[in-house]
Amino acid sequence: MMGLLIASMLGRWGLEVLRLYEANALLVNGTVLVYGILMVLSWDNLMKSREQLVACMLEDAESLHTARSLIADDPASSAVTIPWAKVAAARSFPLIAKRLALWPNRISPASLQRLLPAKELFAEVAKRLDLTR
């Protein structure tokens, strides 16, 4: 009885998809699981890259003794640099992704710059140095 109700609700194409899924459930579920693990690792890699960038910027600010330059309205005019290439080369996992992304990006200085805006990094460094206005 319930099977007939479900079959009538799914229609012809939905029933074919259901049969295909039932026949290949292990393959489909395995693919979804691998994709989920890949995305979680990519997101974690982006967060670790962000932390590493902020740590390098903090070291740079402390060595320059010019922490006030971080508060500039234009991060490009700051004396503290963002080591995009150094962090990209230091990461062992090759993919990064934002939390709600559908597909990861290969890690590179350009992809880090696109996913981690400089203003947010400078704001985090200023917050950690207690320099917020």
Dump pLDDT digits (tens) for 83-119. 999 999 999 999 999 998 999 999 999 999 999 999 8
Query: What CA–CA distances, in Å, run from 49 to 53, 60, 70, 102?
Result: 6, 16, 20, 19
Inside any domain, residue 4: no
What is the count of structural domains for the chain? 1
Q: What is the pLDDT of residue 12?
A: 86
What's the pLDDT band for 66 if we cut at 50, 70, 90?
Answer: low
pTM (2 d.p.): 0.79
Q: Residue 79: helix, strand or coil by DSSP?
A: coil
Inside any domain, residue 45: yes
Inside any domain, residue 43: yes
Inside any domain, residue 100: yes
Inside any domain, residue 109: yes
Inside any domain, residue 27: no
Range of the domain at 116: 37-128
Closest CA to 106 of 98, 94, 114, 93: 94
Inside any domain, residue 1: no
Inside any domain, residue 26: no
What's the pLDDT band for 130 if we cut at 50, 70, 90?
Answer: confident
